[in-house]
Structure 1
Amino acid sequence: MAGRNMFVRRPWLGRISSLIFPVLLAWIVILVLVTKFTARPQVALHVSSAWHRPVIGPYTSTAPAEDSAESIAEVDVSSNPMALVESMAGVHAYAPLQPNILPLYNITIGTCIPLVGCIVDKIDDHGLASGWIRVDKPLRSSSAKKLGKLARVGANPSYWPQVTRALFYRRAYGLDGTRIVDIRSVSDVEAKPEGPGWHKVHVPMRIKMAWNKAPQTYLYFRTATPEEHDKPITELAITYGDNPSLPQFSLAATLSAEQPASHLYARRTVHVHPKTPQPKFHANGTFTILQFADLHFSVEQQACRDVADVGACRSHNDTLALLEQWLDEEHPDLVVFTGDQLNGQGTSWDEQSVISLWLAPIIRRKIPWMALLGNHDAESGFLTRHAHIEFLAQLPYSLTRAGPREMHGAGNYDVAVRSPNADQQELLTLWGLDSGANAKPTLTHPWKGLRYDYIHQDQVEWVLDTMLRRAPAPWPYTPPAQLFAYPPGTNKSQLGPRRLAQDALRNARPPGIMFVHIPIPEAFDAVDHDASGRALISGVREEKHQRLGGQAERGIFAALASVRSNETLGVQLFVHGHMHNNDDCRRIKGTWICFGGGASYAAYGKVGFPRRARVYEVGSYGQTIKTWHRMDNTTDRMQETELET
């Protein structure tokens, strides 16, 4: 009786026990299916977490003052190859942007199972080579698409909620052994590679179920000795869709013809990425910045939005053509991407494939660039915000920095723009701050997504501390040659050595421009007027108060205003993206706030409102700012305005 009563009182035990058996049975079936196709001895690897890239060290404020190389030079391994080999001997993690001359000598395909890890071939190398290194994305785009849409699933396949196939390679410890020099993808119905040195990876690239009759596809790789003088493969990367490869990579094989296609890229010749040139004013006292806002690119080309003829428009192609046109018209000293380069929303499910698309025109022209993350950049894909910004920081000509790790957000950093003279004085500070995505729920706003995120107090304190740590320098800046110049017609013998009157100068910290994706709340405050009563506004504002008017909280604007003085010139201009149909500049409480306007056909806009990019010309060595727009319907400068301080 007691036992029956106990059972009646706990009906949930029966329900749980009825679920456990089918779940365990299904799991056993999955294990049998995925291990059935791996014929050789195997070992399970529990691969560690996301994007195994070297840590980029503690954040150091401002760019270095010294000049840096403009060209990309091949790594010279002939003079002292072992020094570089020894320095790389411990680099046995996947880091595709790090130069590495150590060749790959073996590849295989592993099966990655949730909660288990990846099962790969077990080969005894007698300690002569590194362990298996996993290329951090699935082989098939269909798997990557499902995982990427979940957002920030990370690179650890133990956490991926589906069985996938992944590519693994082994890197040699030295330069004198056999190395991989070619890779091909071949299906069962195609001719197999013939000749010496070819090897087959016996694990197929697709997990084939009994009902799937499609032919299997296998990888083949060719190895050679150093005496054969074939360039070895030193790194591999997977990209999805018809997008450019990472810098220095070339197509090795198409892994899957499904749409979007999966491509395997290889790096053979090792280059050292160029050191990003130190931003400097020109001798005429100018420095030009080109802002691209809200590209909203995806892995696959999406339909154009808010255009008169959708059928005649290709969102990626036509937007990239615009960017190329504006770059060639302006020849900027710096390009700033102010967030939402990626569309998020389930379409930019592999960040790397999209990043290579929008950066290609900039890297090809060797233009220094900065980037911020917007609210959509981390909505889907494999990377956290920090991993995303660290990836951007390692690309050629990038001034992007991850910033202090312990602080709110990813991508809080500053860049110094210096004089072109030997004194290297900092004349302008460019600030990038991460405004996040959605504010966390609070008692007054319990639902996540009701409000946008904002610049938090620790970010504010970091900006003030970093700004005030700069030593004041003579201002306005005068080139050294002018300080010692005589006025025309002066009798030099009577006056002796000449120096500009010091009372015309003062010591001050340089002015700054702050780039933030989501607009600060003050962008919607009352505008200033000049002495004649004219409102200090230039441009159009189509979008007004969106989700309580930009960021959820105030703080950064008032804090910066409080430290502005004759000794601290402070931030003169805030630059925003986010609202694609706003392109205005307005002065509010003595500080200018400008919107870039949407630059992309892949993003929302408005029919009749041209896509545009904003240009900022800082003149007189940092004393003046002029701005104008480039638009898709004219080659003229539009809305040219002097920002009166």
Structure 2
Amino acid sequence: MTRRITRTLTQLAGLLTLIALLLFLADSRYRVLPTSIHDRLPSHHVGTVVTDITITYCSSANPFSACRLDNEKWQRVEKDLYLRSGWLQSAWLHVQRRKEEELTVGDKVVVGVRVGRLDPGVAEKGQHDEKWESRPGGIWVLRSSKRHDSDSERAVTAVDVLFGADAMDPRPGWKLAQTPLLLEGSKDLQVARLSTRHGRPNPKADEKSRDTQSRVRKDGTFKILQVGDAHLSTGTGVCRDAIGPNKNEPSEHCEADPRTLDFLDSVLDSEAPDLVILSGDQVEGPSAPDTQSALFKLAAPLIERRISYAAIFGNHDDEGALSLSRSAQMGLLQNLPYSLSRPGPENVEGVGNYYLEILAPSPSTHSALTIYMLDTHGLTPDEKKYEGYDWLKPSQISWFTSTAQGLRKQHSKYSHFHLDMAFIHIPLPEYAEKGLVVKGGEWREGVTAPKFNSGFYDALADEGVVAVGCGHDHVNDYCGLRPGIAPATASPNDHGEKKERLGPWMCYAGGSGFGGYAGYGGYHRRVRVWEVDVNAGRIVTWKRVECCGEDVHKRIGELVVVEGGRVVGA
């Protein structure tokens, strides 16, 4: 009898274990979430106020633990606070909010949020009539039942979570808690930090910072800083192939993201660009389980200096299991101050096919420079036939061609030189051509361009684009020019000769981030600067280098690529 009972209990325990395992496998927290769910971004909920905040813990080993509170009362921030690194455990921030007009006499509005082990009220004795209330994760909330607090600057109107000891929140009106959430068993995980917004957003100020119209300086110059392959992570990241202070010796103490951002800070201060082009692989997807935190770190120094910026995506930006999609990342960027980034037409393949018009010096309303931004996608869709990387699609080339031709009539009204440039991430096949004239840098690694040539270089040349910048191959930093080639469509002259076409120049930015590779015998991170002079029709380009000793931030590889509105031959 005893054996039978023991056997039954053993079978029951095995059944419960199986149920727990099935629930674990089925739980959406432990698999890649569908785009519609995973790409949910923190919303501002205009007209609502936060009435409570809490954290729920759950374990997949316990089929009775809940990961979501009542949907009618609580909204969950769709980020596992353990970033799905907790063994059989996760934690979720929940926010309760109400519309102002629906607040009742008994409702309370959150007017303060702190994180810590001790009651903030002890240090603030007598400053508030309300008492601080404890919540899981070391959260303390101060709630007010006074009606006038719901529409005051005290009221908390939005809550978000960012990750990493180096996290930043560049959004106006948002405040990031310095103390991380006190989560159970989270010593080896990326710290989670609350970010809150008090009061209503200022629509006029937000709109003004997002609709910044770039314009050439009074002296006719316009400076562009191209930042390629920053490869930022969630948290400080791990340095790859970093060079130390003693010239070419490896760096012994290096945190990738802080060093990358320190380099960027110094270049922004020394070059003072008018526009920053983020040319892809801003994020090291697999190392950035919270894409938002990584993107915010890159945008913060630009927003702080009120510098306009525009981004396209690389193959790594969205390749992580937890990465936000390109559309979601663009949604984040679009809503940040001074961002000129746009997703582009829905009927064109990819995310980030758009153009920027840089106006001539005030008071002119004419465009002096047009910059085309295009999405070069990621890995090839046909590995058997064309291994490696994807290519620009017919819909993109058609969009570019029709757009360029449509703008030409407007540009012809400008009395000075109008110039056209383009930026992509993955290089075109022409970057690897034999016989290419290479200037202003080095060809140090193989060009990983698409194996299929969709003809975008010819489209650029046909429409008069004088220079195209790319990234992707980190230690290539040269500019290349094809020898003069007569297009098949060109008409012969009276002597039966076809006019040769020169350009565009094809230039690499060089890798800027310490989270990406930089081997091949020692390589210093760098960025590319483009200076346009619309009065002379000139473009000069050079690079800034993060280096060592007396060569710190050295300016190298200066090259005139356009003069008098025409491509300069080598």
TM-score (norm 2): 0.76
Q: Determine which of 453, 477, 480 is the counterpart of 1:583.
A: 477
**Closer, same or farther in 2 for the Cα pair 1:443/1:595, shift >3 Å?**
closer
Report the Cα distance in structure 1 between the residues aligned to 2:447 and 2:22, rounded to whole angstroms: 55
By how many angstroms is 1:389 displaced? 1.4
Q: Distance in 2 between matches of 1:622 and 1:476?
A: 17
Secondary structure at the residue paired with 1:458?
Answer: helix
Q: What is the correspondence of 1:340-379 to structure 2 with a 5 Å cutoff? A: 340-344=281-285, 346-379=286-319
Measure how far apart 1:310 and its partner are.
2.2
Q: Distance in 2 between matches of 1:595 and 1:473?
A: 30
1:136 is aligned to 2:62: no
Supply the distance in 2 between the matched residues of 1:539 and 1:250 (Cα, whole angstroms): 43
Q: How do residues 411-560 of structure 1 correspond to structure 2 at under 5 angstroms?
A: 411-441=352-382, 444=385, 450-473=387-410, 475=412, 477-478=414-415, 510-527=418-435, 535=437, 537-546=439-448, 549-550=449-450, 552-560=452-460
User: Is the CA contact 1:513–1:571 (under 8 Å) kept in the aligned structure 2?
Assistant: yes
Task: Tell me which amino acid in the other structure corresponds to 1:410.
Answer: V
Matches within 5 A, 1:53-452: 94-96=42-44, 100=46, 102-109=48-55, 119-121=68-70, 132-138=74-80, 140=81, 142-145=82-85, 164-174=91-101, 178-185=108-115, 191=119, 196-198=129-131, 200=133, 204=136, 220-227=141-148, 231-242=154-165, 243-247=167-171, 248-252=173-177, 254-256=180-182, 258=186, 259-269=189-199, 270-271=201-202, 272-273=205-206, 274-306=209-241, 307=243, 308-344=249-285, 346-380=286-320, 381-441=322-382, 444=385, 450-452=387-389
Write the distance in 2 (CA, Å) between the matches of 1:249 and 1:256. 21
Tell me if structure 1 keeps the 8 A contact 2:360–2:368: yes
**Equivalence for 2:518:** 605
Question: By how many angstroms is 1:552 displaced?
Answer: 4.0
Runs of 4+ in 1 over 6 A off after TM superposition: 27-31, 111-117
Report the Cα offset of residue 101 of structure 1: 5.8
Partner secondary structure for residue 639 of structure 1: strand
The secondary structure found in structure 1 opposite 2:156 is: coil
Q: Which amino acid is the alignment partner of residue 574 of structure 1?
A: V
Pair 172,382 (structure 1): closer, same or farther in 2 beyond 3 Å: farther
Whether the aligned pair in 2 keeps the contact of 1:111 and 1:119 (CA below 8 Å) is no
Determine the C-alpha separation between the residues in 1 that align with 2:537 and 2:340. Answer: 23
Which stretch of structure 1 is more off in the superposition, 255-264 or 315-324?
Answer: 255-264
Shift of 1:610: 2.1
- 8 Å contact kept, 2:438–2:478: no
The 10-residue stretch of structure 1 (597-606 or 451-460) with the greater mean CA deviation from structure 2? 597-606
How many percent of aligned residue pairs carry the same amino acid? 28
Contact between 1:276 and 1:368, CA under 8 Å: does it hold in 2? no
Deviation of 1:558 (Å): 1.9
**For residues 239 and 635 of structure 1, what CA distance do their matches in structure 2 show?**
31
Contact between 1:340 and 1:377, CA under 8 Å: does it hold in 2?
yes
Query: In 2, distance between residues paired with 1:461 and 1:122?
Result: 46
**What is the root-mean-square deviation in Å for CA atoms of aligned residues?**
3.6
SS at match of 1:437: coil
Change beyond 3 A, Cα 1:29–1:392 = closer
* Aligned CA distance change for structure 1 residues 106 and 545 (closer, same or farther; 3 Å): closer
1:27, CA displacement in angstroms? 7.0
Structure 2 equivalent of residue 617 of structure 1: 531
Give the conservation status (yes or no) of the 8 Å contact 1:143–1:164.
Answer: no
Q: Give the residue type in structure 2 aligned to 1:619.
A: D
Whether the 8 Å CA contact 1:378–1:384 is kept in 2: the answer is yes
- Counterpart residue identity of residue 360, structure 1: A
Normalised by the length of structure 1, the TM-score is 0.68
Secondary structure in structure 2 of the residue aligned to 1:460: helix
Report if the CA contact (8 A) 1:292-1:613 is conserved: yes
Displacement, 1:384?
1.2
- Cα deviation digits, residues 515-568 of structure 1 (max 9, x gap): 11010111111446xxxxxx462211101243xx4464332112333x43xxxx
SS in 2 for 1:453: coil
Unaligned runs of 5+ in 2: 1-11, 26-33, 123-127, 244-248, 486-501
Cα pair distance change 1:537/1:556, threshold 3 Å: same
Partner of 2:498: none
